[in-house]
Structure 1
């Protein structure tokens, strides 16, 4: 059996990457103090949507990513957070950085939010690669898959992540509020855990209403088990979710219901 203590740091990112890095650093330290070995932060942790993303985008050796690496190394925890990096065509990539002891990986969001009247693809260039990484442990390791927000609507990606051996899938999000959006979030996070037959840790932006724009998050960060059952959930406000992932449950559900390898 391998047990991993995980956390989701639900927060509100603003437009300033420097301020957001300070907010993130505090959240990561609180997660480490709670005993977590991995902490997820939201999509767009670096800067909230509605910011001039081209102006603030940085490469993966830029100040924001470097700051994430520093706090991850200082407290000995793996951090997964959303940032923006320049794309070759003048747009940006909506990127997740996973960094910490023995870990350095990145995932560029594949499925862009061209829905509900939004056109993320006008500003964001899609990624194309499914990404997993190995989380080293003292006696063994876990495989962690990465996905971002709107990816939750594409079951095939999560089946592929399960087939790649993911024990845990981390899903940072900025899930905009609106009619039915809470119900859709709750349904999709549970369904995608079941599709992958893996643990799923989804971290959303906390609910807040910026002046003149729609809310950029609904909160409700969640840890779901490989059968799609909710093991822990936050409300709408900022907060820290802490829970445990047991890989024996992944093995057991895949043995009882052998669907992802078919």
Structure 2
């Protein structure tokens, strides 16, 4: 049954922080943001890529299936606080590698997951050594709209976001761990805004925070919400932060009616 199209604005939250080596400690960070987002009146919480375990650590020994204890606890938190939670985790791929997975759940009626299609084999890094690529794009219905999923390096591939828009996604959740480097923060902001225009949708890019204590940071912060015309509606700084923004889906529908590039 198709979800009735939403006509009223709602609030979404992005939880920006640094994932460490302990999945249980990272779950406590998830819980903290779930509680805080619910207190802010949000209906959707997007958390970073690799929230389960930071990229500085090999995910293969600690990866869990979708019905494992880590994801099950996320479902419990989402259900208890009435939120749709979108979060990055790792699950076994079956070939000795893992899938870099985005889980979306409200702990009740909504359950979807996306395995990262475009792996970060760039800038001297080979994510594919540890990670198997996903094979399909994902959209699902929740909150009276259709939501698309993508993660991190996917943001460099415009066709993925155009495809999500054509599939009806009115917002795209983009958990990310955007490795720091020369002009990387500038690229991140530009790409999120461009992909919002490609999909004619809201794009909620939630990055890991910049870790000033680490030798190489897997996040620059700067989580942001971009609207369907590429405008920045809310943007975080570089440190840990809960970013909250209002989303009016009528803006998506008006943009697509006036500039019909997805047909």
Task: Bin the TM-score by the shorter chain.
Answer: over 0.9
Unaligned runs of 5+ in 1: none
Partner of residue 131, structure 1:
138
Counterpart for residue 250 of structure 1: 252
TM-superposed CA distance for 1:51, in Å, is 1.2
Matched ranges for 1:172-191 at <5 A: 172-191=175-194
Deviation, structure 1 residue 209: 3.6
Task: Tell me the residue number matched to 2:127.
Answer: 120
Report the number of matched residues.
256
Q: For residues 15-26 of structure 1, what are the structure 2 equivalents within 5 Å?
A: 15-26=21-32
Runs of 4+ in 1 over 6 A off after TM superposition: none
CA offsets 1:26-56 (integer angstroms, 9 cap, x no match): 1111011100000000000000002121111
Q: Cα distance, 1:72 vs. partner?
A: 0.2
Report SS of the residue matched to 2:125.
coil
1:205 corresponding residue in structure 2: 208
Match in the other structure for 1:41? 47
Indicate the residue corresponding to 1:5 in structure 2: 11
Q: 2:3 corresponds to which residue?
A: none
Per-residue deviation at 1:210? 4.7
Residues 53-68 of structure 1: pairs in structure 2 closer than 5 A: 53-68=59-74
Computed over aligned residues only, the root mean square deviation of the Cα atoms, in angstroms, reads 0.9
2: distance between equivalents of 1:29 and 1:126? 33
Distance in 1 of aligned mates of 2:95 and 2:9: 42
State the TM-score, normalizing by the size of structure 1.
Answer: 0.96
DSSP 3-state at the match of 1:170: strand
- Aligned partner of 1:99 in structure 2 is 105
Q: SS in structure 1 opposite 2:60?
A: helix
